[in-house]
Amino acid sequence: GTFVNVGGLSYGYSIGIGNVDFDNAGNELIYLNDAVGWHATGDNIGTGWHHVAFTIDGSQNTTVYLDGVNVLSFTETPNSGTNYSFIGSSSGISRNLTGGKIDEIRFWNTVLTESEIRQNMYRVLPEPFDGDLVSYYKLNETSNTGNRIDATGNNRGLPSQLASDAC
């Protein structure tokens, strides 16, 4: 399936499309909590563009949103994560982004409310950026080294490998 993995190697948080899990082709929105468990939302997303977001608070309460609507909530203790993030692929296994495109990626260091997600999901964020926005990849520009540009200026360059089939 198509997925976005935030974490690294076998650990991290993933969200994507599959059938019960990412290994089976399908059209259901699925969340993987840090290699602990798959969580199928029961929502078949069809075709076209969709906004997908997830939040995790300090108590490990996780909420998954599809087009600004809460479709899954649970609490589960994750494994020890790493500092690596992979967008559209994963390290150590042969999974790549297939059948999907990504328009923007945003990382926040605060849990956004459902209202905040809905308010911002279909718009380009205006500058100056909120201080809680850690990274913002618009995916329509690259640096002279081929890396995607972090619009926040925090210089967290996204590898150029994302550029070819994911954007």
CA 145 vs CA 134, 142, 158, 161: distances in Å: 21, 8, 11, 12
Predicted confidence (pLDDT) per residue in 16-32, tens digit = 777 766 666 777 777 76
What is the mean predicted confidence (pLDDT) over 33-60? 80
The distance of Cα 12 from the centroid of its chain, to the nearest Å, equals 11
Q: Dihedrals φ, ψ of 162, to 5°?
A: -65, -25
Is residue 159 classed as helix, strand or coil in its secondary structure? coil
pTM of the predicted model over 0.85: no
The proportion of the chain whose per-residue pLDDT surpasses 90, expressed as a percent, equals: 11
Q: Is residue 71 a contact partner of residue 44, using CB atoms and an 8 Å limit?
A: no
Q: Is the pLDDT of residue 1 over 50?
A: no
Of 125, 127, 119, 122, residue with least CA distance to 107? 125
Q: Is residue 19 a contact partner of residue 28, using CB atoms and an 8 Å limit?
A: yes
Q: Is the pLDDT of residue 165 over 50?
A: no
Predicted confidence (pLDDT) per residue in 144-155, tens digit = 666 677 888 887
- Note the residue count of the chain: 167
Cα torsion 22, 53, 149, 82 to 10°: value is: -60
Predicted confidence (pLDDT) per residue in 54-64, tens digit = 888 888 888 98
Predicted confidence (pLDDT) per residue in 84-122, tens digit = 555 655 555 555 544 567 788 888 889 999 999 999 998
Give me the chain's average pLDDT, please.
73
